[in-house]
Amino acid sequence: MSVRKQISEVNGVYFITFTCARWLPLFEITNGYDTVYKWFDYLKEKGHCIIGYVIMPNHLHALIAFSKSDQSINTVIGNGKRFMAYELVKRLKEMNKEDILDQLSGWVNKTERLRNKKHEVFEPSFDRKECYSIAFMKQKIDYIHHNPCKANIQGVKLPEDYLHSSATYYYTGKHGVYAVITYMELQDIDLR
């Protein structure tokens, strides 16, 4: 049985991963990277901290320090995915990408369809790992930042070459597209 703890019980740093449905490159197709940044803004407004991220064409990895909240991490991530899904579908409609919209619609299961869900934009589940130590956070940040290099994305030889990543800040000290704090800077922040 799944236990859904409130963030107030499990505040801390988590490595989060979620994927576009069937690994479709929906962030790339819709140029929807900004939808993730808007979600990050919302998280910051709620007192959470973005420590690192990479938005790949078809998935997201993020290291997030969650402060106490009356919502579960599952709810926070689920609401974020829902917010992004609506925007990505809107953009697909504006782009007349009927073939992709038909695919996303066809992937909605019967139960979700009864709840009036129209498109399966993201895989239903997400992965989360609690980061208990600086060493584990560093390992996850390194993994996040090297993801575009391992994926052989054109023009990306070094982690800081990839636009939609926090690698620029970690490697050069200059913020990239989205400002983050490092896991070392996090020690100066009270998440209570």
Query: Is the per-residue pLDDT at 40 higher than 50?
Result: yes
Q: Give strand pairing partners of 17.
A: 61, 127
Between 132 and 32, the higher pLDDT residue: 32
Q: Is the pLDDT of residue 52 over 50?
A: yes
> CATH no. for residue 45?
3.30.70.1290
Report the SS3 class of residue 95.
Answer: coil
Residue 133 lies in a domain: yes
Question: Could you tell me if residue 21 is inside a domain?
Answer: yes
Cα 169 from Cα 14, distance rounded (Å): 19
Banded pLDDT at 3 (limits 50, 70, 90): very low
Percent of the chain whose pLDDT exceeds 70: 92
Query: Which pLDDT score, from 0 to 100, does residue 2 have?
Result: 42
Residue 2 lies in a domain: no
Condensed to tens digits (0 to 9), the pLDDT of residues 62-106 reads: 999 998 888 889 999 999 999 999 999 999 999 999 999 999 999
Is 46 a residue whose pLDDT tops 70? yes
β partners of residue 127: 17
Checking if the pLDDT of 140 tops 80, the result is yes
CB 75 within 8 A of CB 161: no
Q: Which domain holds residue 22?
A: 7-188
Could you identify the residue written with the tokens 């239903």? 124
pLDDT of residue 184: 86
Q: In the chain, how many domains are there?
A: 1
Q: Does a structural domain hold residue 76?
A: yes
pLDDT over 80 (residue 179): yes
Nearest to 84, CA basis, from 32, 15, 25: 32
